[in-house]
């Protein structure tokens, strides 16, 4: 197979380029820049695209072929160029998101003999990843290993972060990485001329282009640590300024050195979610759990148990409620992200419509505990509120009335501790941890699996009801399995089934199997 051209060489055949980009990432802009680059250099260029719908049915795939050409070359007409990429026949693959690089590898577009792979390491989570109970985020490390083996050369970095630093879009950073890779044998100044020719957002695009095209990225090889953090997403730190020095010192004095980083991240999240007093409350709960009420779990099992407790208790205490959702939807950072994804310049109008459909339980959950209980138990008030919120609401947060509605609801989060939902969440956590302590007295592995089952409880509304129902049924099965050597293994299997089971039918079948063999065991005479 023919080698791709190196910088300074004229390719004897077309340079084939495949670009995978989702909506708002500027894939079309990048393709146009490459075509402009080729045409301004006297080359022949052809571009086609197959539209997709973000990550639901796949990103839009742009395909380009470039060839140095003059009309009378060799006395022949215009050479034919392909309209679609073929596996094993692509010189350059550009992925605007890390999993899109993985999909390109799966399709056979990346080959070790030929392909330069240029990819952004940031993640834009797919619908499937977001909807899986618990941590459904795909392992970016596997894509890294595949890219190292599949590509002739790899240029990978967080292009989205580069673009954000300069108020640009990711296409400019990817174009810079393409220039630095040497896969297209043209000088960097020609790339910059292509950007200038558009006349829109030129300075910001050039700034992002130049940073990405700097020598540090040329032939870059990404370290594994450059990928998404290996810890669970619920432990991602919030704003560091909310973690006071006193709170940090308390973490250092209360907890073992091996979990300091994890505990500090948890405290940041809790303080950002509510306040530093709430983070204090978390540390008090952890301190009570640390000794397991006098139950000693030593060695590696004890360390794993305690780390699991840190993760899951912090996640449970930062539950999703209506106030939290309203807070996230009215943050300035979210509007900035939406503007970037839509490819809008500053000053252009952004219309945002939010959809809310709270159930009666969510409405009552936002009320003070006594009032919420009274409304729930009052049949007339329950009927009235049920009719009021029977249909979903569409709220335009780009308008002043809509934004103020959600902003006021977010502010109500200050009084979260006094609400009915909070009282119920704290009671649920206490009951769950009491059961974990009971398991830990005889079976640390079972206690660890019971802690991790908390990943099923997430969201609000129907999502919360479904997840909590699965959690409760698995905890009942865990109690029935208690005392068996394979109890922890069964609980882990049930949790894995529940995470992938949308309607609960597969979990029902697995639970029926468990109850069946437990029933048979109870009838069997002792051996």
Query: For 141-165, how does the pLDDT look when each residue is reduced to its tens digit (9 = 90+)?
Result: 788 888 888 998 888 888 888 888 8
Spatial CA neighbour of 316 closest among 436, 407, 412, 229: 436
Residues 113-139 have pLDDT tens digits of 899 999 998 887 766 666 665 566 777
- Euclidean distance between CA atoms 374 and 385, whole angstroms: 13
For residue 198, what is the domain's CATH number?
3.40.920.10
Question: Is 253 within the bounds of a domain?
Answer: no
- What does the pLDDT average to over 249-267? 82
Residue where a domain stops, chosen among 226, 250, 280: 226
Residue where a domain stops, chosen among 226, 241, 262: 226
**Residue 495 tokens, joined:** 């949790």
Provide the pLDDT for residue 318.
93
Question: Is 282 within the bounds of a domain?
Answer: no
**Residue 418 tokens, joined:** 């006094």
- Specify the pTM: 0.61
Tell me the pLDDT band of 238, cut-offs 50, 70 and 90: very low
Residues 291-306 have pLDDT tens digits of 654 445 556 677 888 8
Residue where a domain stops, chosen among 209, 226, 243: 226
- What does the pLDDT average to over 52-73? 68
Question: Is 279 within the bounds of a domain?
Answer: no
Provide the pLDDT for residue 130.
64
Q: Residue 28 belongs to what domain range? A: 15-226
Tell me the pLDDT band of 54, cut-offs 50, 70 and 90: very low
Tell me the pLDDT band of 12, cut-offs 50, 70 and 90: low
Question: Is 176 within the bounds of a domain?
Answer: yes
Q: Does residue 232 carry a pLDDT above 50?
A: no
186 in Cβ contact with 41 (< 8 Å): yes
* DSSP single-letter state for residue 20: E
Question: Is 167 within the bounds of a domain?
Answer: yes
- What is 445-488 written as a DSSP string? HHHHHHHHGGGG--SSTHHHHHHHHHHHHHHHHHHHHTT-TTHH
Q: Residue holding tokens 């879009």?
A: 169
Number of domains in the chain: 2
**CA dihedral in degrees (88, 92, 95, 100; nearest 10)?**
0
121 in Cβ contact with 158 (< 8 Å): yes
| Residue scoring higher pLDDT (255 or 522) | 255
Question: Is 429 within the bounds of a domain?
Answer: no
Residues 424-473 have pLDDT tens digits of 999 999 999 999 999 998 898 999 999 999 989 888 777 888 889 999 99
Question: Is 422 within the bounds of a domain?
Answer: no
Question: Is 352 within the bounds of a domain?
Answer: no
């Amino acid at each position: 197979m023919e080698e791709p051209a190196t910088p300074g060489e004229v390719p004897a055949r077309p340079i084939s380029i495949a670009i995978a980009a989702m909506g708002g990432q500027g894939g079309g802009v990048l393709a146009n820049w490459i075509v402009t680059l080729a045409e301004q250099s006297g080359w022949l260029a052809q571009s086609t695209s197959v539209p997709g719908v973000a990550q639901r049915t796949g990103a839009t795939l742009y395909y380009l072929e470039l060839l140095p050409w003059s009309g009378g070359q060799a006395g022949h007409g215009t050479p034919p160029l392909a309209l679609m990429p073929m596996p094993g026949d692509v010189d350059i693959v550009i992925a605007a998101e890390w999993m899109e690089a993985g999909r390109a590898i799966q399709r056979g577009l990346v080959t070790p003999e030929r392909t330069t792979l240029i990819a952004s390491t940031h993640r834009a989570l797919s619908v499937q990843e977001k909807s899986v109970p618990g941590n459904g985020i795909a392992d970016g490390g596997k894509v890294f290993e595949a890219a190292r083996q599949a590509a002739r050369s790899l240029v990978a970095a967080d292009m989205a972060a580069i673009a954000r630093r300069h108020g640009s879009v990711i296409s400019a950073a990817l174009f810079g990485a393409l220039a630095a890779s040497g896969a297209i044998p043209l000088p960097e100044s020609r790339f910059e001329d292509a950007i200038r020719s558009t006349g829109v957002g030129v300075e910001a695009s050039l700034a992002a282009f130049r940073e990405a095209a700097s020598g540090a990225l040329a032939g870059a090889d990404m370290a594994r640590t450059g990928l998404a953090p290996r810890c669970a997403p619920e432990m991602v730190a919030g704003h560091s300024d909310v973690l006071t020095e006193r709170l940090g010192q308390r973490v250092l004095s209360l907890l073992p050195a091996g979990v300091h980083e994890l505990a500090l991240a948890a405290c940041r999240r809790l303080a950002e979610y509510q306040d530093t007093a709430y983070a204090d409350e978390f540390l008090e709960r952890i301190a009570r759990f640390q000794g397991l009420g006098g139950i000693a779990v030593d060695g590696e099992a004890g360390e794993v148990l305690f780390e699991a407790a840190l993760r899951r208790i912090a996640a449970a205490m930062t539950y999703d409620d209506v106030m939290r959702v309203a807070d996230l939807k009215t943050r300035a950072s979210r509007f900035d992200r939406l503007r970037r994804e839509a490819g809008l310049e500053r000053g252009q109008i952004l219309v945002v419509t939010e959809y809310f459909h709270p159930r009666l339980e969510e409405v009552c959950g936002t009320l003070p505990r006594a009032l919420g209980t009274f409304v729930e138990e009052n049949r007339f008030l329950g009927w009235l509120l049920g009719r009021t919120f029977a249909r979903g609401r569409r709220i335009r947060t780009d308008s002043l009335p809509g934004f103020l509605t959600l902003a006021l609801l977010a502010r109500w989060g200050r009084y979260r501790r006094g609400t009915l939902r909070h009282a119920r969440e704290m009671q649920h956590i206490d009951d769950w941890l009491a059961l974990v302590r009971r398991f830990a007295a005889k079976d640390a592995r079972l206690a660890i699996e019971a802690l991790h089952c908390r990943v099923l409880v997430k969201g609000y509304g129907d999502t919360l009801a479904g997840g909590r129902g699965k959690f409760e049924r698995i905890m009942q099965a865990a109690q029935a399995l208690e005392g068996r050597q394979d109890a922890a293994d069964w609980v882990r299997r049930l949790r894995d089934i529940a995470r992938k089971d949308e309607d609960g039918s597969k979990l029902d079948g697995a639970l029926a199997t468990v109850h069946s063999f437990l029933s048979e065991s109870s009838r069997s005479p002792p051996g």
